[in-house]
Amino acid sequence: MAARKITVVVSQAPGKNPNKRQLEEEIATQLILSGTAEVSLIPHLYDLPEDHHGMLWLRSISGDIVVCSWLYPRATRWVLDRNDIRGHEGVSLLKSDEDDDDSEEAVGESPQGIGSVNVPNRKIYVLDLRQHTEAAVYIREIERIANEATVPLVSLGSLGLTNGFAAPKPAPALAITSPFVATNGTTVPVIAETEARRRWYPVIDYSRCTNCMECLDFCLFGVYGVDGMDRILVEEQDNCKRGCPACSRVCPANAIIFPEHKTPAIAGAATSAVGDFKIDLSKLFGAPSALEIAAQERDVELVADGREAVGMQVGIPKRQTEKPAQPRDALDDLMDGLDSLDF
Ligand code: SF4
Ligand code: SF4
């Protein structure tokens, strides 16, 4: 039986790195030549405004979808969710050379968060283009996904309002610019090729977020808010200070992702242990704690804005000031484990 055509969207890397462009175009070309998928290229997903044609295009796709991007899959998934592009997680079998047993365990952990809302009956598969340099690896995985994709199509028009955005719109009249011509003469839509301006903002992983509101208390720049269901929300994303990841250090659930940050745990790597371990090591060696670093980073931005530094006096999570009353957590267990190592 012929494989069902699945929709593949390639989110291009920011900038003009020729190797990255080549990989993106090889994937698109080979998929078209094989007839496996409908393919389109969009600018870097994280930078796209909600009304960008690339985002409108993504929102208009109603069936299973594969998104290839230059971000950690968890970051891509929650950037999509933030933009009302939702579906059940399609499992990718792609592994990078760096994958180890720990990361597999982390992926398999049960989510403890409040979860997403209004998730339609379809799957979204996310492939990380940083994992491999050969297009053939991605083609094989997409072909496998196309063969497994059996979920019936659903209409996004039946979905409700979420996260403060308008309801999903019908397919837009696409602004297709400079279509990329594959070697068989077929064109691949490049949706609004003009690059969106670079952005920097937090993305919430609701599979981990417990809605504790500590980020709302901590951020003094009006980035966070609550939606109509009293769920935490990144409301004014462009108020965030470029390069600053302060609130990700404050979040007790490691649920705040800055997809472009150089630290994997902050950028959306699957493991949650990295962030905890970072906090412990800093305490172990007398360095500032993660909360102190966060307060310092926030102070830098306050002063840059002509405001007073507040240090640890404002919005520091209760778990810090009331720590003796808190139940044991993973941090306590890890500290005990380190103590027992006797070094
Ligand atoms: S601090 Fe983290 S867990 Fe708490 S509401 Fe914010 S994102 Fe969610
Ligand atoms: S990084 Fe700073 S400015 Fe940006 S959301 Fe977090 S606390 Fe607010």
User: Which residue type does 178 have?
Assistant: S
Closest C-alpha residue for ligand 2 atom 4:
240
91 and 149: one domain? yes
- From the alpha carbon of 298, which atom of ligand 2 is closest? 2
CA of 244 to the centre of ligand 2 (A): 7
223 and 146: one domain? no
Quote the number of domains for the chain. 2
- Report the sign of the C-alpha dihedral through residues 206, 211, 214, 215, in that order: positive
95 and 227: one domain? no
307 and 271: one domain? yes
CA of 121 to the centre of ligand 1 (A): 27
H helical segments located in the chain: 18-34, 53-60, 73-82, 101-107, 135-148, 214-218, 246-250, 264-267, 273-284, 290-304, 318-321, 330-341
**In this structure, which ligand is nearest to the CA of 215?**
1
Better pLDDT: 95 or 316: 316
Closest C-alpha residue for ligand 2 atom 8:
219
13 and 159: one domain? yes
- The answer as to whether 21 is a domain residue is yes
How far apart (Å, rounded) are the C-alpha atoms in residues 202 and 338?
Answer: 32
55 and 165: one domain? yes
Residues framing ligand 1 (Cβ under 6 A): 204, 209-215, 232, 251, 253, 255-256
- From the alpha carbon of 113, which atom of ligand 1 is closest? 3
Q: Which of 161, 188, 215 is the last residue of a domain?
A: 188
Angle at 285 (CA atoms; ends 282, 289), nearest 5 degrees? 30
Q: What are the backbone angles phi and psi of residue 181, rounded to the nearest 5°? A: -95, 120
Closest C-alpha residue for ligand 1 atom 6:
215
Comparing CA positions, the residue from 70, 137, 72, 79 lying closest to residue 106 is 72
Helix, coil or strand: residue 82: helix
148 and 252: one domain? no
How far apart (Å, rounded) are the C-alpha atoms in residues 185 and 205?
Answer: 41
- Split at pLDDT 50, 70, 90, the class of 112 is confident
Taking each continuous run of H as one helix and of E as one strand, the counts in the chain are: 12, 11
Closest C-alpha residue for ligand 2 atom 3:
240
243 and 287: one domain? yes
167 and 18: one domain? yes
CA of 54 to the centre of ligand 2 (A): 26
Q: Which helix (H) or strand (E) holds 69?
A: strand 65-69
Residues framing ligand 2 (Cβ under 6 A): 202, 218-219, 221, 223, 240-241, 244-247, 298
214 and 313: one domain? yes
CA distances from 231 to 11, 96, 162, 213, 259 (A): 28, 35, 10, 9, 21
Average pLDDT of the chain is 80
178 and 211: one domain? no
- The answer as to whether 303 is a domain residue is yes
**In the predicted model, is pLDDT for residue 176 greater than 70?**
no
- The answer as to whether 313 is a domain residue is yes
CA of 62 to the centre of ligand 2 (A): 33
- The answer as to whether 176 is a domain residue is yes
- Split at pLDDT 50, 70, 90, the class of 196 is confident
Q: Which of 188, 222, 253 is the last residue of a domain?
A: 188
Closest C-alpha residue for ligand 1 atom 2:
251
Side-chain-facing half-sphere of 201: CA atoms under 13 Å? 24
- The answer as to whether 195 is a domain residue is no
pTM of the model: 0.81
* pLDDT recorded at residue 5: 79
Q: What pLDDT digit, counting tens, does each position of 66-109 carry? A: 999 999 999 999 999 999 999 999 999 987 655 554 444 444 45
- From the alpha carbon of 244, which atom of ligand 2 is closest? 1
Q: Which of 155, 188, 221 is the last residue of a domain?
A: 188
251 and 212: one domain? yes
Are 69 and 76 within 8 A, CB to CB?
yes
- The answer as to whether 213 is a domain residue is yes
- Number of residues in the chain: 343
Which residue segment(s) compose the domain that 294 sits in? 203-338
- Split at pLDDT 50, 70, 90, the class of 148 is confident
- The answer as to whether 343 is a domain residue is no
- From the alpha carbon of 248, which atom of ligand 2 is closest? 6
Are 220 and 302 within 8 A, CB to CB?
yes
Comparing CA positions, the residue from 30, 33, 32, 40 lying closest to residue 8 is 40
- The answer as to whether 194 is a domain residue is no
- Split at pLDDT 50, 70, 90, the class of 285 is low
Closest C-alpha residue for ligand 2 atom 7:
219
